[in-house]
Amino acid sequence: MPMYQPSSGRRREADSELGLGGGGGGGGQVLDVETAVKDGILGGGGLICDGGGAEKLDLKEIVEELENIEVPSVFICPISLEPMRDPVTLCTGQTYERSNILKWFSLGHFTCPTTMQELWDDSITPNNTLHQLIYSWFWQKYLAMKKRSEDVQGRALELLDTLKKVKGQARVRALKELRQVVASNSSAKKTVEDNGGLGSILSLLGPFTSHAVGSEAIGILVNLDLDAESRRNLVQPAKISLMVDMLNEGSTETKINCTRLIETLLDGDDCGADTVSSFSLLVGLLRLIKEKKHPNGVLAGLRLLKALCCQEPVRNSVVSIGAIPQLIEILPNFDPECLELALHVLDSLSSLSEGRVALKDCPNTITNLVKLLMRISESCTQLALSILWAVCKLAPEECASQAVEAGLAAKLLLVIQSGCNPVLKQRSAELLKLCSLNYTATLFISKCKLTRTIQ
C-alpha cells in the first residue's frame, strides 16, 4: 500500500480539516485559499505563516519530513497516490501531479486516468490555488511538528537535570517520564544521547539499585543507541546480575526490556554469551518464552536464546535445565517467526549428544517435527529435517519406525519432488533410506500408504 494512502476512516478525518465531504483524488473541486484561511481551515493569520522566522523549505523537503502524516485526499494524485507537489488540471477538471500525467501521456494515452474520458484538449493548466493550499497545509503541519519536537527535547533535558537532584519515588517518576518521552520521540532520544544521558542512566544501575529504578532505567536504555563505552559499562557483573534478577522477577514489560538489552550487548564485540549466561538467566528466558499471553516476550526470549546457544557451554546449560522437552511441547503454538527461532535453538542443541538424547526421549519430538515439514517455510523444513536426522541416526530402529508411523516418508517424498534446494533434497533422500532399513520394500510401501504412481 502506498505510503500516503490512509484508510477510509482516517482519510475522512484528514479531509474534515479542509471541510471536504467524501470524494477523492483531485475531483475537479475548486478550492479558495483565502476562504480556507478565513474559515479557520488553515488556522488564523496569513496564507503561509512563517512560524516566527522559521526557514522556509521546499515542498518536497516538507513532505519527506512528514512522510507518516495523514494527508487530505484532495492533495493526493490519483495516479501515484502520493501528495502532489506540482498539481495540474486537465480539461476534464481532474487534477494530477504534473510528472505523473506527462508520463501517462508519454505512454500513448489520450484519456483522463480517473474518468477514462477521451480528452478534447491536451493542454494542462497549473493549479496554483491547490498548490498554495497544499504548501500551506504541509507548512503548518511541519511547524507544529517542529514545535512539538522542541518541546520534548526541552523536557528531556529538564528530566536529565532532575535525575541528578532527586532520589526515591521522585527519581522513579522522573525516569518513567523520561522513558515515555524517549520511546515516543526520536528527537528526545537524540537529545538524551547528545547530552550525557547514557552516562547518567548507567550510573543509576548497580548492586543496590531497586527494581523500580532499574526497570525504568533499562526501559530507557533499550531505546537508545549504545556506544562502545556504554556497552562495556553494562557488562559489569553487578549490572548483568541486576538485569537477570529483573528478568526473573519484574513485570512482563521489564522482562522483555532486559531480554532486548542483553541481546543488544551480545551484538557487540565486548560481550560474549559466556559473559552474560547463567542458569538464572536461562530459567528466566524459558519462563518468558512459555508466557503465551505475551507474544512480544516469546519473540524476545527466543531471539536471545538463539544468540546464547552459539557457544557449546551455554548449550549444555540449556539442555541441563530441561529446555528441550518444554520447547518441543509448545512448538505447535508458535507463530512462523517464533517457530523458526525455536527450531534454530533445537537444531543447535541437537549438535550435543545430551541434546540428541533429550530429543529422542521426548515423546512428541518426531510427531511435532514431521507436521512442520513443507508447511511453514523452506527454512523451517530444513531445520526440522536436520533435527529429525540427528534423532533417527541416534536410534534408527526405535525412531525411524516411529517417524514412518507419523507420516515422515510421504513428507520426505514430497520434499524430494518439490523445488527445494538440492541439499535439502539430499538430506530427505538419506533420511528416507534410513527409515526404510528396518522394512522390506513391500512392507515399507504399505506402511507409508504410498500410491501406485509413487511406487
- Average confidence score pLDDT of the chain: 80
Least confident of 49-53, 160-164, 200-204: 49-53
What pairs with residue 96 in β-bridges? 88
Closest to 328 (Cα-Cα) out of 300, 298, 366? 366
Residues contacting 358, CB < 8 A, separation 6+: 319, 322, 324, 325, 349
Ordered DSSP codes for 43-66: -SSSSS--TTTPPP--HHHHHHHT
| pLDDT of 14 | 56
**pLDDT tens track for 335-372:** 999 999 999 999 999 999 999 999 989 888 888 888 88
End-to-end CA distance of the chain: 48
Q: Please give the average per-residue pLDDT across 96-109, as a whole number.
A: 91
Residue ranges and CATH numbers for the domains of the chain are 68-126 (3.30.40.10)
**pLDDT confidence bin for 142, thresholds 50/70/90:** confident
Residues contacting 444, CB < 8 A, separation 6+: 404, 409, 435, 436
Between the CA atoms of 294, 300, 302 and 306, what dihedral angle is there, to the nearest 10 degrees? 180
Q: Please give the average per-residue pLDDT across 152-168, as a whole number.
A: 86
- The residue ranking higher by pLDDT, 417 or 192, is 192
Report pTM: 0.66
Q: Is residue 279 predicted with pLDDT exceeding 80?
A: yes
**C-alpha–C-alpha distance, residues 401 and 451, integer Å:** 20
**pLDDT tens track for 26-54:** 444 444 544 554 444 444 333 344 444 44
* 157-191 burial code (b ≥16 CB/10 A, e <16): eebbebbeeeeeeebbebbbbbbebbeebebbbbb
Q: Please give the average per-residue pLDDT across 216-235, as a whole number.
A: 91
**C-alpha–C-alpha distance, residues 132 and 84, integer Å:** 11
Q: Please give the average per-residue pLDDT across 148-167, as a whole number.
A: 82
**pLDDT confidence bin for 329, thresholds 50/70/90:** very high
Of all residues in the chain, what percent are helix, strand and coil, respectively (each to 5)? 65, 5, 35
Least confident of 13-17, 187-191, 343-347: 13-17
| pLDDT of 271 | 63
